[in-house]
């Protein structure tokens, strides 16, 4: 799969590390059937560039390069009030000398606060030019187009980046990740039995799946839904993976059975805390010293732990957890994460 024909900005000068997590694996195994669980490793995409990085960094390497090719001077994108994607898009804009505007979707009524911490603090610190707040369920494409028109009225040129950077061009970032992972497994002599990652706007899951299929990487991917259950999530992933393969000119149809997502761990709602997420964040922090975020990776790790306890993974199966970042958001949830600390210790 040749990515060299696509313009690309490089925001990370190294392959993100793959690390063992023996103490975390032992903690998970203690609550698994027979006291035996999977061997969990982690790929540190939280260490990607545009600090503090995350999975959106890989997508933006291709999206921002396209914006620059088109002569844009302003990036326009959308997300929730604590959007990692918005924060990293803004960081890319600052790095490239561009302006940046957001459409913020208040998916949970009353969740947008002008003085919020976490990612919202980063928005203000890095100088977002404008934020338009709309109610949950709004037509985000129409809202971003209106912002682009406002930019044009100022004699400037906007480039619209979809939520999560999730389109075929952005998905190339996780084709690149798949190739990076393939090379690392070869160099380390470290084959993986399964990859577990978050499945939300579908760009990461779909791009990684396309990369695995196109590069003949025979490792199942389990996507833990962060906003939808499988009946709604899997069609999105299937379409994204197919769009990425089509963009690359790969004559392949994505097999529906290659798309696997797991639901339930995101509930009661997107970005709303639950006990399993709190337990997962505390467990990883207290066994390996690695923080997760409460909206995405915390719920994804809760899914991994839950599946292990149900016997979904084979004993000692080697699992690679993809850490997609999101660290700043944890500061907006400090009370929820530590409030139940005594009960979960």
Task: Give catalytic residues, as residue numbers.
Answer: 83
Closest CA relative to residue 92, chosen from 48, 135, 34: 48
Q: Is the peptide bond before 30 cis (omega within 30 degrees of 0)?
A: no
Q: Where are the alpha helices (DSSP H) in 265-345?
A: 275-288, 297-309, 334-339, 341-344
CA distances to 113, 198, 225 from 337, in Å: 20, 20, 20
From the number of C-beta atoms within 10 Å of its C-beta (0-12, 13-18, 19+), residue 277 rates as buried
Give the single-character DSSP code of 325: B
CA distances to 32, 55, 98, 293 from 332, in Å: 32, 20, 27, 10
Q: Residue 1 contacts by C-beta under 8 Å, 6 or more apart in sequence? A: 175, 179, 211, 214, 215, 248, 250
């Amino acid at each position: 799969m040749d990515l060299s024909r696509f313009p690309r900005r490089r925001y990370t000068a190294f392959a993100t590390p793959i690390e063992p997590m023996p103490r975390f694996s032992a903690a998970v195994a203690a609550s698994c059937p027979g006291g035996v669980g999977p061997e969990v490793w982690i790929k540190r995409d939280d260490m990607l560039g545009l600090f503090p990085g995350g999975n959106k960094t890989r997508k933006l390497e291709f999206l921002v390069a396209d914006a620059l090719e088109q002569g844009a001077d302003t990036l326009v994108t959308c997300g929730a009030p604590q959007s990692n994607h918005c924060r990293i898009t803004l960081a890319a804009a600052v790095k490239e000398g561009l302006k940046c505007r957001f459409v913020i979707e208040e998916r949970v009524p009353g969740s947008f606060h002008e003085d919020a911490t976490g990612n919202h603090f980063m928005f203000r610190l890095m100088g977002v030019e404008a934020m338009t707040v709309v109610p949950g369920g709004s037509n985000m494409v129409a809202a971003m187009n209106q912002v682009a028109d406002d930019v044009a009225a100022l004699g400037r040129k906007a480039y619209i980046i979809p939520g999560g950077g999730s389109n075929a061009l952005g998905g190339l970032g996780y084709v690149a990740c798949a190739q990076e992972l393939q090379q690392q497994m070869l160099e380390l002599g470290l084959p993986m039995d399964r990859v577990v990652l978050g499945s939300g706007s579908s760009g990461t899951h779909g791009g990684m799946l396309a990369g695995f299929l196109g590069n003949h990487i025979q490792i199942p991917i389990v996507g833990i839904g962060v906003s939808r259950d499988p009946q709604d999530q899997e069609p999105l992933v299937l379409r994204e993976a197919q769009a990425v393969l089509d963009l690359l000119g790969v004559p392949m149809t994505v097999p529906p059975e290659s798309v696997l997502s797991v639901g339930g761990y995101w509930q009661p709602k997107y970005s709303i805390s639950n006990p399993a997420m709190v337990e997962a964040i505390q467990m990883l922090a207290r066994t390996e010293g690695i923080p997760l975020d409460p909206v995405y990776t915390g719920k994804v790790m809760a899914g991994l732990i839950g599946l292990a306890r149900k016997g979904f993974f084979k004993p000692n199966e080697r699992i690679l957890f993809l850490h997609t970042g999101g660290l700043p958001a944890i500061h907006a949830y400090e009370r929820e994460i530590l409030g139940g600390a005594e009960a979960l210790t």
